[in-house]
Structure 1
């Protein structure tokens, strides 16, 4: 297989990203955060409620939630992606999650009334979380989540290696998902893992010895994700001590599209912003991340654990759709609520209960936002397919 030179990667990766987004309307929604915020910027006045200034995910869709293990091995469903995290309006996460669930329902050929019920349950789950002070363990999990959690608990390093790098031998096989590094990239990665900060990150997990020897066994450019294709992304295989192995994910941090609140105090460095948001919203992951400079770019780094999974759902039944919407909104609500005091939580909860019609339990701003976004994204998806799946000339 012929691999692209580092300076030729971006064009190939963007083409692959466009092809992935053409696979389904839900894939398009997941991969096109920019379109969501284009719509958001077009709103006039106070079309959405103005929530408290807290860290939000900024890209709160179905695929960005899932089981995560903390440094002690405890597993909990939390937000798992923070490229877009900023201090902003929590209503933006609610609308983005509602759009994602509506797109999943459409992909499952569910009738439109199910979307209405999903948004009602989504709001109910979120409001319930605001009353718990962010104690996320108390909500009953849907059967689909229980299955994902059981799979996460049972997963081993061997399964992680087979899934991520195909082989459990001490190397990363090059191919479709892993490309070779340039000489400068290899040197930079070697130097990175000689730092005290990286040693501390690696030895924090699994009660490894603080003075354990860390050896870079292999590294490769990682062709992964959808919205992140085109950025710097690396997989690094390490040996820790004599027998332990671990897989490190290095990802470039870029400017967030999500709108921050004016005067909000956040790290100016994008990698530090990502880590700061993760530690507020998903402590299980945030405590396992650090920000570094790599080849003049800000990157955030974490060890991948076997228990870290995304929620992958191909088809939803009517009952599953409403239960999942309620539970996932509860998870997001807990992440938000942990950052608020009681008075702020009560005020925000009361605000969310306003603007409801006699026939719809969800507030009008949420329903109208999701309807408008679904229409906008449907048109955008068809145009995207015409351009990238058929070709710009339609042939």
Structure 2
């Protein structure tokens, strides 16, 4: 089993490699650079201050996707809330716009398409702020809807095959999953024996809360880039049925950390980072928030969530011209709905007026948003090239 220092070295190497693969991957993996720009760029001073609400804080394409609730319904929602804070909703708009613009460049689309994407993005977002209950973005994205339809047809075998490379309820050790220390295994066994943890998992499975829950298998999970220096585990939990048989749930445990995203002055958020992430999920992504719980383990703050077969991320390798524009509107509508459900009608009207105030035409992008995207695209492109040079020299 790799020790913590070796784990971090391997995770850092993986993070460096992934970020060197494309400008879009670099943007996804470098939240810090985004907020450094917000703090330093003269352009950022023109960004309006919206109502203080829960925001994603890292609102890029990969953090949106279909999510199932405990009853099996599926919606496109925000799926990663590690950076979530009570902050300025304009930051989510800019982060999403940068991600879309970078994806468009990766698809060799001309700058005119990026301009149209930003126009549709602000229109889709404004539509959700105006009426967050409609559920209709106006023009639907084929990419977004196809992922949602695929999610509806998935079952445990799909999740096990995708995440575990197996259908039997065991976690295969290898490149993605590493053996636990004795201390980690003991801590996880104790955690899942706690009644409140077992009750949450049973409630999501629709089973009576007095049923037995036990840990079957677990491993350290080398997943993505955000686990660097943090605890991250995958666990298979067995749930006893009325007939005395066992069904299984796959549970993700992730250490919470201090967010990079700036919070609004005086924001009243939980001091514990795992509690903050869960509170944000319940406001921004109710389907996800209903399946999460903050816990303490090994003197660290973690949040746990059951993974369902329907949970997918949006993976955009190539955009066509028309699909890029439709996806921009659809995804901004999703983010706008998450924001708007936290606002009363008067606050939504005031925020909508701020968004519309800087638009020169019915389909124009607010100048603060466009200038932010242009400035950020340039700074991230330069940062990406420097990153690639460092990676090549190190390799």
Instruction: Work out whether the TM-score is over 0.5.
Output: yes
8 Å CA contact 1:172, 1:218 repeated in 2: yes
Superposed, 1:254-333 pairs within 5 Å as 254-333=257-336
8 Å CA contact 1:32, 1:227 repeated in 2: no
8 Å CA contact 2:137, 2:329 repeated in 1: no
Task: Give the C-alpha shift of residue 391 in structure 1.
Answer: 2.0
Return 225-234 or 118-127, whichever deviates more.
225-234
Task: Give the C-alpha shift of residue 230 in structure 1.
Answer: 3.5
In structure 2, distance between residues paired with 1:285 and 1:148? 17
Superposed, 1:114-193 pairs within 5 Å as 114-136=113-135, 139-193=138-192
8 Å CA contact 1:22, 1:384 repeated in 2: yes
In structure 2, distance between residues paired with 1:59 and 1:35? 12
In structure 2, distance between residues paired with 1:316 and 1:58? 24
In structure 2, distance between residues paired with 1:240 and 1:323? 42
Partner residue in 1 for 2:21: 23
1:265-322: CA deviations, max 9, x gaps?
A: 0001100000000000000000110001111111110000000110111100010000
Partner residue in 2 for 1:250: 253
Task: Give the C-alpha shift of residue 214 in structure 1.
Answer: 1.0
In structure 1, distance between residues paired with 2:333 and 2:226? 25
Sort the Cα spacing of 1:287 and 1:135 in 2 relative to 1 into closer, same or farther, 3 A: farther
Partner residue in 2 for 1:101: 100
Return 370-379 or 224-233, whichever deviates more.
224-233
Partner residue in 1 for 2:351: 348
* TM, length-normalised to structure 2: 0.96
Paired residue total: 390
In structure 2, distance between residues paired with 1:119 and 1:163? 34
Moved segments of 4+, more than 6 Å: none
Sort the Cα spacing of 1:245 and 1:140 in 2 relative to 1 into closer, same or farther, 3 A: farther
8 Å CA contact 1:352, 1:363 repeated in 2: yes
